[in-house]
Structure 1
Amino acid sequence: MRCRNLINRKRSITTEETTKISLILPLFRLLGYDTENPDEVKAEYACDVGVKTSEKVDLAILIDGEVKMLVECKSAKTKLNSNHLNQLLRYYSVSDCKIGVLTNGVEYRFFTDSVNAGRMDLEPFLIVDIINDDLTILELFSREKFNGEKISGFVDELKYRTVIREKLLSEFAYPSDEFVALIAKRVDSGRLTKDKRRKFKRLIGKELDAILSNVVVDYREKDNPVITTPEEIEGFYVVKSILSEIIDADRIAIRDRQSYCAILLDDNHNYPICRLYFNDLDNLAVAFFDSMQKTKKSGRIEEKIAISKVSKIYDYREKLLKTVRVYLKGKK
């Protein structure tokens, strides 16, 4: 069912609603939309949602009469989370629109239906902080360059890149039988027997450890060099993959110590992103610094959280992004 405009011009919009909407209009003006033209930008846009027809989504962005984006706006002080999605989910389900946007005027979360057609994903495919992030990507949503197929291709590429990262990290840490067979065939033309497969798996694992450890061994402690474990390497790459959304991954550095493995911005101990406590594989923990609180000696207070496996670091994506965004803002 198409959305239909139910704006009642006699009904006055509340001060709160006006303030929220005014937060996001400048961005859409920069993207080439005429915010004074109700045929392109419509405030208080509504759809028939079951028996409810009185609720309205804050903004609809149209091109040539077709709704391209539905925008739900929260106050600037609101920390966005999944609880703010309900209304946007309802409107999306009854609209032909493919892009839903949740924003507080600073952070913009873009959603589509990459999992089930017509049903908005619960996870955004793109998050942009207009103060700290590179805004070039937003050209995709400009009036001049808006193209549904290109956006769909972009979403697919992001999805595949994420999966590819995870698979590569998994292979680095725990080489699969398929990976072992691929390498074995390149170095041995004979039949890959069960015993030979087991031997190659052990050798490949050792070589991967050696290659990666040579990159991240901290030789500053000459008498007792710290060798970074496969789990720490995997954790490092998970953090890099998360933060590559907002920063060049080369700026994420690793410094290993006896008791923990530190991940830093610009290899500077004054900018800790997190610490990996992986010495005991049965009791993995990650320390975060997003509170920005400091100790009496000006160090940063860490929040240590237990995790069941390395990939669980992805669950704390927002903490990592927040920490780096604060550091980047301070560096400016």
Structure 2
Amino acid sequence: MAERQALTEEATKTAVVMPFLQALGFDVFNLEEVVPEFIADVGVKKGEKVDFALKIDGTIAMLVEVKPISCKLRDTQFSQLFRYFHVTEARLAILTNGREAWFFSDTDEPNKMDKKPFFTFDFQKHDAAQVEELARFQKGRFAIDAIIEAASNLKYTSAAAAYLKRQMEEPDDDFIRLIGRQIHEGSITKSVAEQLKPAIQAALDDLVRDRIQDRLSITFRPESATQVSPVPEEPANDNEVFTTDEEREGFMIVRAIGAKIVPVERITMRDSKSYCAILMDDNNRRPICRLYFNSATTKNLGLFDAEKKETRIKIASPADIYQSAEAIEAAIRAYA
């Protein structure tokens, strides 16, 4: 069995890893650049080998350990990399099974390899951004200080992204309470958390959608319909309209208020130069309220009565919207 594993590992080296190292600009047939079966004595352990040591200008830049393609890297013990990292000048290490490559550094403690990779690359599933990140490790572009700085940023960015992805799919109680304390006055009881959860999920979806809109410079906002308020809605010039964080927060609060009455997807936002309109079913004839947050000195909340006549009240912050929850609920119920 051990022999079969060794053969599989050798096949991984020959078929995948060596071409990969070549793609990074290393001459795999030059022992001054790629040292196979690199040996470095570590304490009482003598003659241990790491599969490859990559050199740049005579200095070891990276260590590479190869596992069989059948091996899952998360289940792998890579103690050799840990030990070799400590006794060589290398500050980068790669663990690969030919399907993935995990990149490690010493961002947590100098000269001690981190327990978790700061970057992973899937040879079969990757995007342009990951390819560009991989290009940092090319011999011709190799700059260790820039790589270490990027490694530190990537580590925290990846961890944060993974956490937020989990929360978007199924927010946990701690996350609901964290957001809830910012948008709800009073204790976050179990019933309040259940009420807030769909609104928070919807808000996260909206933030992702808005980010995509910003990146693509595309506005999905429909054209204005017939006005129902005595204050006319200004035609929005997409280049002049900017939705602020406070407007987004206000929108999330209105959704939280309405979550117990209607599905939060029915409560929508349409921004313009003068105010941010919160509507039912994205219909301008169904106004819930308006946020007048564009002034540098004052904020106003526009509320609508049964005849859809607007009254503006001054507020200090988006959190004050909760004080008008009853009027907002009444407006929502009129369209439910």
- TM-score with structure 2 length normalisation? 0.48
- TM-score with structure 1 length normalisation? 0.48
Q: Highest CA radius of gyration, 1 or 2?
A: 2
